[in-house]
Structure 1
Amino acid sequence: MDRLNGITLFLKVLFLSIFCLFLSFSSAKDPLEEIIAEFQRYISEQPQEKVYLHTDRETYSAGETIWLKAYLTVGPFHIPSSLSTTIYLELIGSEGELIQQQKLFTPNGFASGQLELSDSVRSGNYLLRAYTNWMRNSGEEYFFHRPLKIWNSQVISEPSDIPETEFAKENLDIRFFPEGGNLVQGILSKVAFKAIGEDGLGKVVKGKILEGERVIAEFESNSLGMGVFPLLPEKGKTYLAHLEDLEGSGMELELPPAQESGLVMSVSNSCQSEDIVVKIQSNENSQISKINLLAQTRGLVCASSRADLANRVVFVRIPKKEFLTGIAQITALDENGVPLAERLVFIDHQNQLLLSAVPDKSNYGPREPVRIDITAKDKNGKPVAANFSMSVFDKSQVSFEEDQETIQSNLLLSSELRGQIENPGYYFNPENPDREVALDYLLLTQGWRKFTIKKALSGEIPKPVYRIEKGLTITGQLTDPKTNKPIAGGTASYLSLFPVSDSRTALSDSEGKFSFQDLIYFDSDEVMLQGKSKNGKTATSISVENPLNSPALKYPILPFFSTPTAAEKDFLTKSVERKNISRAFDFDEDLFSLEGVEVTGTKIIDQYSGPKIYGGGSTKITVADNTGLENLQHPLDLVKGRVAGVQVWGSGDTWSILIQGVSSINSSVEPLIMVDDIPIPIEGLSSIPVIEIESVSVWKGPDTAIFGSRGANGVLGFYTKRGKVQSMAPNRLDHPLVPKGYQIEKEFYSPKYEAKEPPQPRPDRRVTLFWAPDIQTDSSGKASIKFYNHEVETEIHGVIEGISNLGNPGASRFSYKIEK
């Protein structure tokens, strides 16, 4: 929790440094002051984590691999998170079923991994979901979601030309949102609307606003189904929205009723102005004389003010420089702190990373090498140290949406709003001239606040249910194998050697339950668990819980149409070609397939029972069943004074070893230390209970030749009982299966076509040409990547995105052509 306390202190100091008030407070019980204090406490005690996943593409076929990079941030400034070290990665099917779950290890806010699709996976729309255990306190709405489409070549059918039709009136969901929250009689208001079809996507609509038979306004949505129109509601009148279709008829909807008294808040957020202008107006029936104004971004209060409504209208200017880049929430409250109106606006300081990824040529030949030069700068042109991932793919094989989500649109927009955001990249693409207006429409119709004013007024911050994970958890139970009754007061022992040596013990409770938390391990087969009774004499059975604890899914998965389009059918056809190529060429050319072979000879009995990689060594000490050796404290005590020419001295965690008669070619005289033929540092031996060791082998003199230069100072090999020959089934009473560890990252295969080498006969039809999950710019803000093209004449597209050490996201694209 030291890191959490450090981040908490950092946020508190930072909050106080940027905290600004338009007017000073006069009362210790001032509700506005209390609300501000609660917001400060909230972001300090419950910092918000966010996960973003960059995938190599968004369309796959069965049997392929989804390559991905995870970015984990924390707090209002989106700095790389050092809170949680575990990211849960899930692939969810079209019916909401969990297909795969992986755990990614992220000690510094970054992790990369992969999801391998089986050949039998069905065609359909899938969902990629990612979260941390700490994020579960905020609810599933705050998880990362990315829709994916997966095709299986076994369901290829002829594409059908389905004509586009107008929306079905009965399945259209259209809603109206008065700016600030409510319509008030006698006050001109801006009313936003949003039309969504049954597929969850925005639909283009147009129509008229009717007062009785009189048309008082007309409206038409943008391509995403959103728009606005003005309305001056009058007392005693109702208003209808008439939606027109091609025949001139359509559905009619009643607009929200206007309040008899109240206030309306409108906000002007012109990109040409350095200020936000807030207009608050009340009608003659309103009893509100004074209001408070509060503005915050991601929980960080940026500005506050008081205003007098004696003249029923007031204008307040808030400098944009007071805000962070992102969604700002502006709330008008009465004198008791009760919210009256609210508005979301987007502040853009243009301080995202300025990324450029430039190929060294615009046209290449098939299988020719490509170099991409990457530069990262801030808005002032200064170099930036940042972490990126890059995907390069064949644009003719998979579709690419110009307005798809990036790390920038996710951190600043999608992760702050409820529900699905259609084409989130649209609002950040400078090629879209109406993007700022469209973004304002979105914020008028799709607002959501995680920590509300109401919660702040209550003074009660919800207590977290899910803890911050610094590693994995193993829970289990000790029982008597004869009676199957739980063993209380027993001891469970945990041992792991990779990637770090770690040994722990835990006592069982009255029900025999035990738990280990914050463990770091990857291969569960390398983890050993053992149980002992309280007196150490009674045999114990140890069982481990392995629950697949996946939160309920609330995010909608769009309907899937099984008939592929012409482009998708072409992708599937090429997918079949790639699989046929793999089957034809995935073999070792130096191997030959033989018919039946009969082997005759005399069996050689080898007395050595340990691993066979390096043989038995110069000297071997058998530890198993030797009580005098098994009760020693440290593994090196087994060698100390027992092997000629080997000197061992030390205690605790500090030990030294010298094997005489070895001509050292290294600056160090420390021998090579191995556990079950795996090299480890000498410090790692202290984590291994001597009781777990079966034997010790020592290599010295000419016998070290098998190790090459690594064995120049001699070799000590410790072989555990777990590592013994696996011809016999392991006893799971002593060594139970443990939950799956962190995923081991695989390296993306990228062929190299060197000019001096003979041509490779294998056809190259890759979809993803290159995937680089860990690109780090140097002090000059530069990096360079090299890879080789495939052999297809086509257009290649590349996407690079990432985040700086200060939390500024950025994304960039590039393209080039392959021509003979």
Structure 2
Amino acid sequence: MRILIKPKKTKYRLGTLFGFIALVLISFSPATDPLDRIISSFEKYLAESPQEKVYIHIDRDDYAAGETIWLKAYLTAGPYHEASLLSNTIYVELINSSGEVIQQHQLFSPEGFAAGQVELDESLPSGNYLVRSYTNWMRNADAAYFFHKQIKIWNTQDPINNVLSDEAIALQFFPEGGNLVNGIMSKVGFKAIGKDGLGKLVKGKVLEDEQEVATFESNKLGMGVFALMPKEGKKYTALLENSDEIVPLPKALDSGIILSVTNSPTTADILVKVQASENSNLQTVYLLAQTRGIVCASSQADLSKNVSFIRIPKKEFPSGIAQITVLDETGNPLAERLVFIDHQDQMTITASMNKSIYRPREQVQVDIEVKDKEGKPMEANLSMTIFDGGQVAVDVNKETIQSNLLLSSELKGHIESPGYYFNPSNQNREKDLDILMLTQGWRKFTIKQALSENALDPIYRVERGLSIRGVLTDSKNNQPLEEGTVSYLSLFPIAESKTATSNSTGEFEIHDLIFFDSTKVILQGNSRNRKSATIFIDRSYHSPSLAYHIPSTPIRPGDLEQSFITKATERTAIEKAFDFDNSELALEGVEVKGKRIDAPSPISSTYGAGTVQMQVAGNIGLENQQHPLDLVKGRVSGVQITGTGPSSKILIQGVGSINSSMEPLILLNDFPIKLESLQTLPVHEIQNYTVWKGPDTAIFGARGANGVIGFYTKKEIGGAIAASEKDERPPVIGYQIAKEFYSPKYPLQELNQAKPDRRATLLWAPNIQSDSLGKASVSFFNSDAENVIYGEIEGISSGGKPGILRFSYTIEK
């Protein structure tokens, strides 16, 4: 019979209309139902521990040592993959085949997107490398769920390797639901992997003791499935064709349940079968179906006759991996099965050009349009790469933002060719995707994790900015200073100041700072007793452990990769031949005599000379003051300052306040700052200051109604860290500044027409935003290549729908 149960709704769209075909359905009350507790725990877990994901789009997969990896980071949060507003810091690492982090960069992502680059050293040896990305918040989960992208780097000076790797094969078996049970027919998934981590095509047979009871054959990705009903007292092994190695199958349980799921792409429902062994003593079990932590279906089933069938409508699930779990009355998981739901509701990207064949160095314009499943325009954030198909291989089955968000980021372990399962041209992709669901191990969201008391007590914090850590010590005896203060000041991109207090061991931390690599920041330490203090910056960073296998076997280039290496060698030779900036001319020694003329003290270039100016640099009496306001106190007519330090009160006569506050406007190098921020500005860094009062404040409008005091620092502001003044390394590393991808323009008057153009990447455009009509345009110039040119666009809509597009055109003379 079929029974409909009223859905249970929450803010995460929990619940479903749940159809049962069962022998008997037992009703239950909230007092005895473990599902209520589990569902509420999932809700709380999602609300208080939202999951972040990072996806990195790069311009290609093969690079030569000395080139640049151009990248775009997409950071999402929550089950619907909306742009993350949690973390502002994205870590990007380059890791070699030995597992060593050889580069790390920090990208600033205030709205879930960031562009950047990894500049490869010319000395890097040829080999497999890994681009890894994560946020600090993501470290609370398993590092296996970080973003991982394997690339190849070729050093044109390295000899070409022609040694084939060993083809030893590891064979693994995965019973559906988790276990084999004696006397019950089960599906068994298997996976054959070579030393390179890739699936291998295999055939074989299953033996019951010495008798053949089943055969198996994998798909091209090394995976497959067969049926088996184990018997008590029997031993089951597998034997590969053309191999003498015997591989044991998992031992069957004498008592338990089997979970079997049928997910046909042609039906609207998922059919679930739960079967218990005769001696299991299980009368009632509970089912929970969820996707990315959203509970989509839940109920109980009666097993008094050892079998129950359940039908779940697919429409209750969002696209992605659905996890179906069977639990006992205590909430303990008994069996689990994954299925993939594909509503094909991702955004659609189209690209149009005015022709399909272009000339070398001709300008190309690509018009982009983004729509949803119903054909309505969508606003989306996109990135696009254009590359030479004569140098760079086109892998239509590689990882994309779509396969990553919906598949790879939810599973542990390496997934070979994840784009294969989303490519409509692959006829067996849905069948093979279901086999993948059988063989990929336990998942990101687990019942135990959601119910754990420690689940909502994360170790790693959400980073809204960067952190500076260190130790404050007495400059004379190098002993830690307790309850000292460390003040931070930065002027770019915004004027920002913060203060931290050192603990009993002199340690301090300042969090959530926004500054970039080129920014000079000021750190100043003070003790309670006005002792001279030294700041020691802790530059160490403990990178997360690597949960990804990078093949260390030597790589051998194919025909296209060999073409890429040849062109890379040509590019290096061309750059040297046309690099006129490196021309040098040796001159004999020249002696220059004269008198140095010191440049005049700078004044405000924005607001004029003001009412009063005072030079500070070079005036010993002023440079030895403790606080910037001490420079003004008693020295400027009409300016009254009472109190000391951050508790100072300022009144500038000759102005009329239109506010309830009498505090004047404070400027630092023409940037407005708070009065308390002056505490972080060392007096010895100040070049001069200016006071505006009376009619001179008119240039500031209402902001200057209470008068204005502006402080101006010396040209070389920053580096005020006593322990680091002689250290060549920067005291702190800021966010990476994204460089602009160089794409030449070829007007008729171009002077450098003779320089050959052998670019592998013709264009990298990381910041494309479609408008309210879903449209955007990008233009660039071709190289000299007479090849097929490929374009790839990836991105995500404002509602969290990913999308991809591949297109091509031809360059001919």
Which band: TM-score by shorter chain? Answer: 0.7 to 0.9
1:213 CA drift (Å): 5.0
Deviation track 1:169-194 (CA, whole Å, cap 9, x = no partner) reads: xx321122221222223322211111
Given the alignment of the two structures, is residue 53 of structure 1 paired with residue 37 of structure 2, yes or no?
no
Residue aligned with 2:629, SS: coil
- The 5 Å alignment of 1:19-98 reads 25-98=28-101
In 2 relative to 1, CA 817–699 (structure 1 residues): closer, same or farther, beyond 3 Å?
A: farther
Distance 2:49 2:11 in 1: 16
Deviation track 1:560-595 (CA, whole Å, cap 9, x = no partner) reads: 32543443332222111111111222335xx98544
Distance 2:662 2:428 in 1: 66
Aligned twin of 2:570? 577
Distance 1:575 1:639 in 2: 66
Residue aligned with 1:219, SS: strand
Residue aligned with 1:573, SS: helix
Residue aligned with 2:53, SS: strand
Given the alignment of the two structures, is residue 172 of structure 1 paired with residue 163 of structure 2, yes or no?
no
Aligned twin of 1:115? 118
Query: Retained in 1: the 8 A contact 2:77–2:84?
Result: yes
Aligned twin of 2:647? none
Distance 1:99 1:513 in 2: 28
The one of 187, 190, 194 equivalent to 1:190 is 187
Deviation track 1:761-782 (CA, whole Å, cap 9, x = no partner) reads: 2211111100001110000011
Query: Retained in 2: the 8 A contact 1:530–1:735?
Result: no
1:732 CA drift (Å): 4.6
Distance 2:227 2:95 in 1: 43
The one of 197, 200, 204 equivalent to 1:200 is 197
In 2 relative to 1, CA 508–260 (structure 1 residues): closer, same or farther, beyond 3 Å?
A: closer
Supply the AA of the counterpart residue of 1:416: E
1:699 CA drift (Å): 14
Distance 2:574 2:527 in 1: 58
290-299 or 252-261, which deviates more: 252-261
Distance 1:373 1:410 in 2: 26
Given the alignment of the two structures, is residue 555 of structure 1 paired with residue 548 of structure 2, yes or no?
yes
Aligned twin of 1:604? 595
Given the alignment of the two structures, is residue 341 of structure 1 paired with residue 344 of structure 2, yes or no?
no
Aligned twin of 2:511? 517
Question: Normalization by structure 2: what TM-score?
Answer: 0.86
1:285 CA drift (Å): 2.8
1:103 CA drift (Å): 0.6
Aligned twin of 1:703? none
Deviation track 1:6-56 (CA, whole Å, cap 9, x = no partner) reads: xxxxxx952266566779751334212111121111111111111110011
Deviation track 1:752-810 (CA, whole Å, cap 9, x = no partner) reads: 11245456222111111000011100000111110111012111111110111111111
Residue aligned with 1:547, SS: coil
Deviation track 1:278-303 (CA, whole Å, cap 9, x = no partner) reads: 11222333322222111011111110
In 2 relative to 1, CA 767–635 (structure 1 residues): closer, same or farther, beyond 3 Å?
A: farther
1:121 CA drift (Å): 1.3
Distance 1:112 1:753 in 2: 26
Distance 1:725 1:37 in 2: 52
Aligned twin of 1:633? 629
Query: Retained in 1: the 8 A contact 2:288–2:298?
Result: yes
Distance 2:591 2:539 in 1: 47
- The 5 Å alignment of 1:134-533 reads 134-157=137-160, 160=162, 168=167, 171-212=168-209, 214-245=211-242, 250-456=244-450, 461=455, 463-523=457-517, 526-533=520-527
Query: Retained in 2: the 8 A contact 1:337–1:457?
Result: no
Query: Retained in 2: the 8 A contact 1:192–1:228?
Result: yes
Distance 1:305 1:724 in 2: 66
User: Paired residues, what number?
Assistant: 759
Distance 2:408 2:717 in 1: 52
Distance 1:653 1:274 in 2: 70
Residue aligned with 2:11, SS: helix
In 2 relative to 1, CA 611–435 (structure 1 residues): closer, same or farther, beyond 3 Å?
A: farther
Deviation track 1:486-537 (CA, whole Å, cap 9, x = no partner) reads: 222322111100011011222222222222111111136510111122133x
Query: Retained in 2: the 8 A contact 1:20–1:302?
Result: no
Query: Retained in 2: the 8 A contact 1:641–1:648?
Result: no
Distance 1:515 1:18 in 2: 45
In 2 relative to 1, CA 622–638 (structure 1 residues): closer, same or farther, beyond 3 Å?
A: farther
In 2 relative to 1, CA 42–735 (structure 1 residues): closer, same or farther, beyond 3 Å?
A: farther
In 2 relative to 1, CA 461–593 (structure 1 residues): closer, same or farther, beyond 3 Å?
A: closer
Distance 2:137 2:15 in 1: 27
In 2 relative to 1, CA 92–647 (structure 1 residues): closer, same or farther, beyond 3 Å?
A: farther
Query: Retained in 2: the 8 A contact 1:194–1:202?
Result: yes
Residue aligned with 1:495, SS: strand
Deviation track 1:469-496 (CA, whole Å, cap 9, x = no partner) reads: 1111112222222111122232211110
Query: Retained in 1: the 8 A contact 2:400–2:794?
Result: yes
Residue aligned with 1:506, SS: strand
Distance 1:143 1:404 in 2: 17
543-552 or 110-119, which deviates more: 543-552
Distance 2:296 2:255 in 1: 30
Distance 1:467 1:439 in 2: 35
1:112 CA drift (Å): 0.8
Q: Unaligned stretches of 5+ in structure 2?
A: 1-8, 20-25, 640-652, 693-707
Query: Retained in 2: the 8 A contact 1:529–1:734?
Result: no
Distance 1:26 1:542 in 2: 63
Query: Retained in 2: the 8 A contact 1:585–1:762?
Result: yes
Query: Retained in 1: the 8 A contact 2:276–2:307?
Result: yes
Question: Normalization by structure 1: what TM-score?
Answer: 0.86
1:558 CA drift (Å): 0.8
In 2 relative to 1, CA 496–454 (structure 1 residues): closer, same or farther, beyond 3 Å?
A: closer
In 2 relative to 1, CA 309–116 (structure 1 residues): closer, same or farther, beyond 3 Å?
A: same
626-635 or 116-125, which deviates more: 626-635
The one of 781, 805, 811 equivalent to 1:788 is 781
Residue aligned with 2:45, SS: helix
Query: Retained in 1: the 8 A contact 2:292–2:445?
Result: no
Deviation track 1:219-271 (CA, whole Å, cap 9, x = no partner) reads: 110001111112223333333322212xxx54333333333332222111111
Distance 1:636 1:798 in 2: 62
Distance 1:636 1:391 in 2: 56
1:211 CA drift (Å): 3.4
Deviation track 1:653-697 (CA, whole Å, cap 9, x = no partner) reads: 97579xxxxxxxxxxxxxxx883xxxx544589845372553238
Supply the AA of the counterpart residue of 2:40: A
1:443 CA drift (Å): 0.7
1:277 CA drift (Å): 0.7
In 2 relative to 1, CA 730–549 (structure 1 residues): closer, same or farther, beyond 3 Å?
A: closer
1:332 CA drift (Å): 1.4
In 2 relative to 1, CA 791–265 (structure 1 residues): closer, same or farther, beyond 3 Å?
A: same
Residue aligned with 1:415, SS: helix
Aligned twin of 2:703? none
601-610 or 139-148, which deviates more: 601-610
Deviation track 1:615-654 (CA, whole Å, cap 9, x = no partner) reads: xx979631243449875539999997699xx998879897
